[in-house]
Amino acid sequence: MADTLEESEPLLSRARGGSGRDCPRGVLTCSSVQESPGAAARRDLCLDQAVVLIEDAIQYRSINHRMDARSLWLYRWYYSSSSQWILSFTIFLILALAFVETPSSLTRTSDVRYRPAPWEPPCGLTEGVEALCLLVFVADVSVKSYLIGWAQFRRNPWLLAYLVVLLASLLDWTVSLSLVCQEPLRVRRLLRPFFLMQNSSMMKKTLKCIRRSLPEMASVGLLLAVHLCLFTVFGMLLFTGEKDAGQDRERLTYFFNLPEALTTLLVLLTTANNPDVMIPVYSRNRAYAIFFIAFTLIGSLFLMNLMTAIIYNQFRGYLMMSLQTSLLRRRLGTRAAYEVLSSVTAEGEAHPKRLGVKPEDFLQVLQKVQLDSDHKQAIAEKLHSRGDGLLSTDEFQKLFYEFDKRVIKEHPPRPEYQSPFLRSTQFLFGHHYFDYLGNLMALGNLVTICVFLVLDAHVLPKDRDDFVLGILNCIFILYYLLEMLLKVFSLGLQGYLSYSSNVFDGLLTIVLLVLEISTLAEYGFPHRGWKPATLGLLSLWDMTRLVNVLIVFRFLRIIPSMQLMSLVASTILDLIKNMRAFGGILVVIYYVFAIIGISLFQGVIVAPRNSSLASVNGSAPCGSFEQLEYWPNNFDDFAAALVTLWDVMIVNNWQVFLDAFRRYAGP
């Protein structure tokens, strides 16, 4: 909520929006709070303050907020999982409205040749949903401003921007209703990604890092611009020969004028049109390759990589600063909680001295903290292991080191059987070699599917005989079911479910069993010529394909069994978790550019029969938008705009989109 420098202020000072009877500056105690008479009320208030401070430390939040009893209740309610879920769902809902609003994305295809008229929501439907979302955001900013106080609110640029965006959105929403949803531009659609950014501290840090990187990025960008302009001039001077047919074709195709030449080399900077741009002159004289190789070496392989190195260096440095700031917030929160709890100890003494924190007070606070039970148990065990006596400052801080440790859950004990035969069976099917056998069977199932895909590659689905594959799938699925039941017998139900790989395995096995039973009930048992007509929703071929897809997906069970693959998979999952902020920034960029693209290019790509620019009878130039049949890539609705932006970001053939929209919409 506030910067680190602001957290150096006393916990309960006037700047925090508290009353004039808060604790003296620099002294963290709640004994002087006159919320309610009596030592019991003051003690409860102190414990509640400690709970909130510890939760702030766990979540790396600022402690710069109100600390009276009513504000503490509101603060904990605001940061509860239910409230944050409502806020996150509201953000998702207001962003998802773009798929339903005019122009609607509710069609099967975005191809302008086959797309039917989409369903358009009546005026007031999406606006009503949007109004509810805006009301939630109004409540959100109101609660935040109250909790941190007006003084801190005025110094927080994100909250001030939050208020401005809300006012602009409400004003634009009012204009939409007054014009009966016929306004040419909805400004508030461009502002919606802000709600996602302001709700994520990591996205704010990422944006701040990008802002700090801009000066160095601008210097490299200037070098790129100079490099591009110089080679554009060189290219126009080189490829102006009239006698050489290769030079003339190069000039007419790629260097006809300054904008054309600049665009050609800009595309070449991304290597999207390499080596096409070089071929006309290179086919006449190999020396011309030096021009294009030098341009690519300097621009793509040196300057672009230099830009990447600068961004990486800035983010690495800022990441270290961010980690230090987060650590400072945690230590500040835990120290503040220690001071509050030590004041409770001192208040109960005849001669008040801040000697430490009573373990029983800390345990009472710990039970109220919003924290998973595993970490609570780990902290409680560490507290009991130290013996009796008051907790010192260092001991109190070290207890919170448990938050950063990954708790390893112990699996439930296996069931105990009296019969020697059952114990032997339990040992046999509970051994890890039984998992290896299951992996081998899954591999065999995958190999059989691949063999039949190769053998039937040239046979139409309606002519395929699925007798052998159907029999094999039945056998393998029965084995998967038997394997699941034997594991449940050996490990017990709770022990079986305590392994994530078993949950994944068992769930897919049940789905496969249901599909197989449905297939047998609908089409009977496999036999020669097993290719009946479609019955129900899915044909036999569709049912078989679905079963095979799930079997292939089930083969992923081998990943935990192989150490190297498991390490790589866990690393990838950790990367995905840690890159959520960058993913959020990417969502914001896509969202804004999709809305801008719809405003600029909606309807400019029309079906071939209605366009004189479109190809007729295959007469379009090779490699053009029409010849490649890129008709689904347009900005006629939000979903199509996202896919088009994705295709452009990949930079493969992005010059095709550039050329098409230049011809259809204008230079």
At residue 298, the pLDDT reads: 93
What pLDDT was estimated at residue 530?
A: 60
**Is the predicted pLDDT of residue 531 greater than 70, yes or no?**
no
DSSP symbols for 516-569:
HHHHHHHH-S--TT--PPP-SSS-HHHHHHHHHHHHHHHGGGGGGGSHHHHHHH
Paired strand residues for 357: 391
Q: How confident is the model at residue 532 (pLDDT cuts 50, 70, 90)?
A: low
CB atoms within 10 A of CB 122: 8
Sequential DSSP letters for 98-139? GGTSSSP--SS---TTTPPPPP-PPTTHHHHHHHHHHHHHHH
- Residue 257's region, left for phi above 0, alpha for psi from -120 to 50, else beta, is beta
| Residue 441, number of CB atoms within 10 A of its CB | 15
pLDDT > 90? residue 190:
yes
Cβ neighbours, 10 Å, residue 635: 27
pTM, to two decimals: 0.79
Over residues 531-538, mean pLDDT: 54
Cβ atoms of 428 and 434 within 8 Å: the answer is yes
How many CB atoms are located within 10 Å of the residue 68 CB? Answer: 20
pLDDT in the model for residue 23: 40
pLDDT band at 175 (very low <50, low <70, confident <90, very high): very high
Return the closest-CA partner of residue 196 out of 243, 250, 137, 154. Answer: 137
Q: Residue 541 above 70 pLDDT? A: no
Predicted pLDDT of residue 375: 78
Tracing tokens 């790989």 back to the chain, one arrives at 501
Residue 105: per-residue pLDDT: 92
State the average pLDDT for the chain: 82
Amino acid at 313: N
pLDDT value of position 35 = 45
Average pLDDT over residues 464-479: 81
Instruction: Tell which residue, 76, 73, 82, 42, has the closest CA to residue 61.
Output: 76
Name the 3-class secondary structure at 236. helix
pLDDT at 396: 85
Percent of residues, the chain, with pLDDT higher than 70: 85
Residue that has been written with the tokens 């409680």 in this structure? 380
pLDDT at 115 over 60: yes
**pLDDT classification of 462: cutoffs 50, 70, 90:** low
CA–chain centroid gap for 266, Å, is 31
CB under 8 Å to 520, separation ≥6 — which residues?
474
Q: How far is CA 351 from CA 345, 348, 467, in A?
A: 11, 9, 89
Pick from 103-117, 250-264, 271-285 the range whose average pLDDT is largest: 103-117
pLDDT at 142: 94
Q: Locate 617 and state its tokens.
A: 């009878």
Q: Please, how many CA atoms are within 13 Å of residue 180, restricted to the half-sphere of its CB?
A: 0
Position 614 confidence tier, pLDDT thresholds 50, 70, 90: very low
pLDDT bin (cut points 50, 70, 90) of residue 143 is very high
Please compute Rg for the chain using Cα positions: 33
According to DSSP, the residues that pair with 391 across neighbouring strands are: 357
pLDDT digits (tens, 9 = 90+) for 1-18: 444 333 333 344 433 344
The rounded distance, in Å, linking the Cα atoms of 65 and 1 is: 9
pLDDT tens digits along 207-260: 888 888 888 888 888 999 999 999 999 888 888 765 666 566 666 778 888 888
Is pLDDT above 70 for 24?
Answer: no
Q: Treating both helix axes as pointing N-terminal to C-terminal, what angle do 39-58 and 304-347 enclose, rounded to 10 degrees?
A: 160
Pairwise CA distance, residues 580 & 206, whole Å:
11
Mean of the pLDDT values across residues 335-364?
76
**pLDDT of res. 433:** 85
Residue 46 tokens, joined? 């102190």
What is the average per-residue pLDDT within 436-455?
Answer: 84
Better-scored residue on pLDDT, 402 or 5: 402
